[in-house]
Each structure stands twice: as C-alpha cells, then as structure tokens.
Amino acid sequence: KDNSTVSITVVGASGDLAKKKIFPALFALYYEDCLPEHFTIFGYARSKMTDAELRNMVSQTLTCRIDKRENCTEKMELFLKRCFYHSGQYDSLDNFAELDKKLKEHEDGRVSNRIFYLSIPPNIFVDAVKCASLSASSANGWTRVIVEKPFGRDSESSAALTKDLKQYLEEDQIFRIDHYLGKELVENLSVLRFSNLIFEPLWSRQYIRSVQLIFSEDFGTEGRGGYFDHYGIIRDIMQNHLLQILALFAMETPVSLDAEDIRNEKVKVLRSMRPLKLEDTVPQGSLTPTFAAAALFIDNARWEGVPFLMKAGKALHDKRTEIRVQFRHVPGNLYKRNFGPDLDDATNELVIRVQPDEAIYLTINNKVPGLGMKLDRSNLNLLYAARYSKEIPDAYERLLLDAIEGERRLFIRSDELDAAWALFTPLLKELEEKNIIPEYYPYGSRSPVGVHYLAARHNVKWGDLD
Ligand code: BG6
C-alpha cells in the first residue's frame, strides 16, 4: 500500500492561470486516475476565502472536455472534496507555517511530498519560495517548486533570479515550465524525426532549405497590458516557446531519452547559435511590442547557413502555431517544365501544426490525373482529429503529471535558460537603447510587411502566406 502523499499548493490560487489551466489540468489528471492515491490540493492566496468558496470558484472552470463522459459530475464532486484553501501573504513565514500545519493534518503521518506551484507575479517569486521552503517544505519526502515564466527580463535578471532561488532550493527541485513543451505535437517532434527513416537522414542543411516557426494569435493583449508592456512579444513567445521548439527540432541525437541527456543536447544547440542582432530581425521600424520576426542561425556542421525564421504576433488574422520545414529543390528536376504556375520552385514542405487542428502534413509534387503531364502540389495529411478518436490532453496535464512523477525532461534547466537569454539579450538591449519605433499593423491583419523583406533577405518565402 502506498504510504506517501502528494500535496499540491497552488500559490496564487485566485489568478487567471490557476483558474483556467492549473485546477482544470489537475481535475483532468484525477479523472484519468493519474493522481496518486493520497493527494491534497491547496489554494493559497491573499484574499480571504473559505474552502467552500474556493471549491465554488474552481468548479466554474472544470470541464470534462467531452461533455457526455461517464461519471463526470460525481468525479468533480470527489475532486473538489480534495481541494482546500489557505489565505496568507506571499512573504509571510508565519502564514506558510500555518499552511504547513494544515498540510501535516492531511498527510496524517505518511511520507510527505509537496509541490508548490507559483502562479504569481515574478517580483514575489523569491519571497514565496523562501517562505515555502523555510516554513512549509516536506520533512521526510521531497519538495518541488514549479515556476512559470517570465524567468527574468534578460541574462542578468534571469541569473539573479536563479541565484536567489538557489539560496532555498536545489536545481533539481526547480521545475521551470514552458507549457509549449507539454503540447502533443511538440512532444511528437522527436518521435517524428528520430523514429522515421524517411525524415531522420534528411534533417540537415543538405536537404533542408529553411525552418520556420510561426506563432499567431487572433486576439491582442487585452487584460494583460501591464505585463505585456513590460515584456513584449520577444520575451513572451520567442525567447521561450519558439526557441524551445527550435532547440528540440535542431538538437543532435541525445544519448537516451533521459532528461539530462535531452537537455544536454538542447543546451549544446542553443550555445551553437548566434546571438541575434538588430539586422537579423524585421527591419528598423517594423518591430513592435506585439509582433516580431527574426532569422536565427546555428553555426554547427548540421545547420550552417540554414535560416531558422521565427515570427510571433498578437492581434493577427488567425490563431496558429506551426513548424514549417522547407526542403531544397530537386537538382535538375526532370519535370520542371511541367510545373504549373503555383509550383514555383516546387520544393517539398513538411508542416507540423501544433495548434489548432493538430496535424502533420507533407507537401509533395504530384501528377494531376489525366492524359497530359501537369504537376501540382498535394498534401499527404495526418489530421489528428480524423486519425485518433482520443482527445488531446492540455499541455498543463502532461507537465503537472511529470512534476508529480519527478520527470524533468520537459522542464527548463538553468543552463538552458542562460543559453536562451544569451541569444536574445543583446538584441533586446539594442532595441531598448535605440528606442526603435514600432511599425503599426491593423488589428486582425496577416502581419506587418517587414516580415516579407526578412524572408526575402534569406531567399525564402513564408510558407503560411502562400
Ligand atoms: C503564454 C503567453 O506563455 O502563452 C501568452 O504569455 C500566450 O501571451 C500564451 O497567449 C499562448 O499559449 P497557448 O497555449 O494558448 O498557445
């Protein structure tokens, strides 16, 4: 019989992230019987609330994803009975000591394992970690802390944050979340590459012309203006979500699937990249706090000369995240004269659509059926919704489960974080020092025009604008 307990304290329980992502993910794990036998969930925040009020708040955002699933309401009730609330300040050793007392009551003499999920603004991370660690860490099991970005604003502030956290925690207790690593198709990236002979040998400068990482959202910064104004899209999306995908995409084969082996390879590829310069980004005047595009280069044997183009924007015409791999053209293609006008240089493209409508498709050149000889582009298409009847778990479910199980593969190690900041910090400083004026783009448009110049400079086209 399992004699251990896991308690998960959501610090900042009344915030948006907790309500929209953390509690629903915990419930989904509970529904799927993935949580340990003995677990307790605590909400911790400053506002006064009773357990019943917390349960009521949490219940508003719980879903069973597919409405008609069995026993959903019963399961929700059982789950809510395991949720409790403690009101306290984030910098109060006493308040965390009170929480510790309550946690002990729930643990009932079993081995105590504790997770603190910091869903609070970064300026209070260190205080909360200090109090949690000094007043409420486990006496006989493990204690882990999950931290959400932003991990600083640049290399220096990030290093300072890491140093401060390490006064109270060991590196292996810190679980830095980048929720994009928990997305199904990002997780599948390595599977696609390393377990398919038709892709693995092609994964290099010899066959790949460019790689494009595209993030767009069809809503702006409504409700988050304060945060966003301070961070901007480069820090919000590029330096973490897109760069993490790039590292996974471009790393060398890890020795094994072990967390340290994978993260070693990610760090290596990040350290082989050139720090960005202003000229690698959308031309002067086209860089706005809500949209940015950049070309990155990896100076190693596999990728030398291959542009990795990134663009990320809010308030655009659609919401999507895609990885587009553009292959080189077939030298001396016999069929060149049979290409229709839309074929251009008729290169193949592999598209991994992370969201929405998860899919992997490969554009090939194909003969249009008929007596003549005309070629067009067609897609071999793996649409997840058509292929798998199973619903796709939210990224937070996978990540929370990994944190509970101590699996660190999808969390960011401090040296990875340092390497990621090293790439962007010089550019961010230059942008701020030179006070670059943003190019405006209409809400709901495709992108500022500057992105086309950027791609053209590297002799490629954005695949999503065809
Ligand atoms: C967050 C960013 O990390 O990711 C947000 O801070 C962004 O600005 C969000 O909207 C996007 O996440 P998802 O999972 O909805 O694509």
- pLDDT tens digits for range 44-98: 999 999 999 999 999 998 887 765 677 888 999 999 999 999 999 999 999 999 9
Q: pLDDT class for 334, splitting at 50, 70, 90?
A: confident
* Pocket mutation for ligand 1, best pick of 17, 178, 241 (most atoms within 8 Å of C-beta): 241
pLDDT tens-place string over residues 438-452: 777 888 988 888 899
Summarize the confidence of residues 154-175 as an average pLDDT. 97
Summarize the confidence of residues 241-254 as an average pLDDT. 98
**Which entry of 106, 241, 452, 458 is annotated as an active-site residue?**
241
Question: What is the pLDDT, as a whole number, of residue 341?
Answer: 65
Q: What percent of the chain has pLDDT over 90?
A: 78
ipTM of the prediction: 0.98
Q: pLDDT class for 225, splitting at 50, 70, 90?
A: confident
Q: pLDDT class for 390, splitting at 50, 70, 90?
A: confident
Cα–Cα–Cα angle for 178, 350, 422, rounded to 5 degrees: 35
| Closest atom, ligand 1, to C-alpha of 183 | 14
Cis status, amide bond into 438, omega within 30 of 0: no
Is the pLDDT at 286 greater than 50? The verdict is no
Q: Which pair of tokens denotes residue 169?
A: 């925690």
- What CA–CA distance (Å, rounded) separates 422 from 153? 11
Q: Quote the ligand 1 centre to 172 CA distance (angstroms).
A: 26
Is the pLDDT at 461 greater than 60? The verdict is yes
Q: Quote the ligand 1 centre to 448 CA distance (angstroms).
A: 21
Question: What is the pLDDT, as a whole number, of residue 389?
Answer: 86
The residue nearest atom 6 of ligand 1, judged by CA position, is 236
Question: What is the pLDDT, as a whole number, of residue 333?
Answer: 85
Radius of gyration, CA atoms only, the chain: 24
Q: Quote the ligand 1 centre to 96 CA distance (angstroms).
A: 30
Q: Residue 420: in which H helix or E strand, if any?
A: helix 414-434
Q: What is the residue type of 393?
A: P
Sign of the four-CA dihedral 442, 447, 450, 452:
negative
Is the pLDDT at 371 greater than 50? The verdict is yes
The residue nearest atom 10 of ligand 1, judged by CA position, is 217
Summarize the confidence of residues 147-174 as an average pLDDT. 96
Summarize the confidence of residues 258-266 as an average pLDDT. 97
Known catalytic residue at 329: no
* Pocket mutation for ligand 1, best pick of 148, 183, 217, 396 (most atoms within 8 Å of C-beta): 217
- What CA–CA distance (Å, rounded) separates 414 from 425? 16
| Closest atom, ligand 1, to C-alpha of 395 | 14
At 303, is the secondary structure helix, strand, or coil?
coil
Report residue 369 CA to chain centroid gap. Answer: 42
| Closest atom, ligand 1, to C-alpha of 227 | 6
- What CA–CA distance (Å, rounded) separates 345 from 267? 35
Sign of the four-CA dihedral 96, 97, 100, 101:
negative
Q: Is 217 in the pocket of ligand 1 (CB under 6 A)?
A: yes
Q: Quote the ligand 1 centre to 326 CA distance (angstroms).
A: 26
Conformation bin of residue 304: beta by default, left when phi > 0, alpha when psi is -120 to 50: beta
Summarize the confidence of residues 225-236 as an average pLDDT. 86
Question: Which residues are registered as beta bridge partners of 292?
Answer: 312
Of 374 and 26, more confident: 26
Q: Quote the ligand 1 centre to 94 CA distance (angstroms).
A: 34
Report residue 219 CA to chain centroid gap. Answer: 18
Q: What is the residue type of 427?
A: L
Question: What is the pLDDT, as a whole number, of residue 285?
Answer: 44
Helices (H), 108-218: 125-136, 155-165, 184-194
Upper half-sphere CA count for residue 141 (Cβ side, 13 Å): 21
| Closest atom, ligand 1, to C-alpha of 178 | 3
- What CA–CA distance (Å, rounded) separates 360 from 358? 7
Report residue 97 CA to chain centroid gap. Answer: 33
| Residues 430/279, Cβ–Cβ less than 8 Å | no
Question: What is the pLDDT, as a whole number, of residue 448?
Answer: 83
Summarize the confidence of residues 5-12 as an average pLDDT. 98
Question: What is the pLDDT, as a whole number, of residue 284?
Answer: 47
Q: Which pair of tokens denotes residue 422?
A: 């090293």
- What CA–CA distance (Å, rounded) separates 266 from 109? 41
- Look-up: residue for tokens 């207790």? 173
Question: What is the pLDDT, as a whole number, of residue 436?
Answer: 77
Question: What is the pLDDT, as a whole number, of residue 344?
Answer: 63
Question: What is the pLDDT, as a whole number, of residue 227?
Answer: 80
Give CA separation, 252 vs 128, 193, 271, 353, in Å. 38, 11, 13, 22
Is the pLDDT at 101 greater than 70? The verdict is yes
Is the pLDDT at 343 greater than 80? The verdict is no
User: Mean of the per-residue pLDDT values for the chain?
Assistant: 93
